[in-house]
Amino acid sequence: MINDFPSDLVVRRPAAGDHARVLAVLDRWWGGLGGEAGSTERALLLPRLFFQHFNTTSYLAERPDGSLGAFLIGFLSQSDPEVAYIHFVGVDPALHGQGIATALYQGFFDQVRSHGRRHVHCVTSPGNTASQAFHRRLGFDILSGEQGTGDTPFQPDYDGPGIGRVVFALDLARRPSRRSR
């Protein structure tokens, strides 16, 4: 499903039955970012529908013992035939630094490119500096916004009152495909 996947994780499509397992690890993986409100926000951002209706462009990576190592939830834009969207990605902090998130993103890029998608969009919260650095390293551009407390511009109220987002876009045409590298 994804070639050359790092570590001994086994990658497969998520199913509706995986929803509760993924939610259960989010707080630990996010280090409790945002406290109880952050926990509720993460659960509400990841309703079961993503595991039911968009699993054909999503990935779950498990250790040989079946425990969850990483996941990526993404979809093909229904409205814009040139765009694909990465909605939620998580990697067990114990597995950070092994290139797992990069491999999941690359797998998604390869798949959506085969569906004719040229642009990949995603957002992250203004406080998630690790995620921001990751997307910059992958070559994502930041769509303009106000300057935040850090050095990353974000768009205030992007997802609702008080829910600002750093907005990323990647042009796959400017990125070599796996095959041509």
- What residue ranges bind a copy of itself (CB under 8 A)? 20, 23, 37, 40-41, 43-49, 52-57, 75-80, 83, 85, 87, 121, 157-161, 163
Q: Given the complex with a copy of itself, which of 100 and 120 has the nearer CB atom?
A: 120
Q: At 87, give phi and psi (nearest 5°).
A: -95, -40
Shortest reach from residue 53's CB to a copy of itself, in Å: 4
Helix (H, G, I), strand (E, B) or coil at 101: helix
Q: How far is the C-alpha of 164 from the C-alpha of 58, rounded, in Å?
A: 25
Q: Given the complex with a copy of itself, which of 53 and 96 has the nearer CB atom?
A: 53
Q: Given the complex with a copy of itself, which of 45 and 138 has the nearer CB atom?
A: 45
Two structure tokens written together for 1? 């499903």
User: Within a 10 A sphere around the Cβ of 2, how many other Cβ atoms?
Assistant: 18
Cross-strand bridge partners of residue 10: 62
Shortest reach from residue 8's CB to a copy of itself, in Å: 27
Shortest reach from residue 98's CB to a copy of itself, in Å: 28
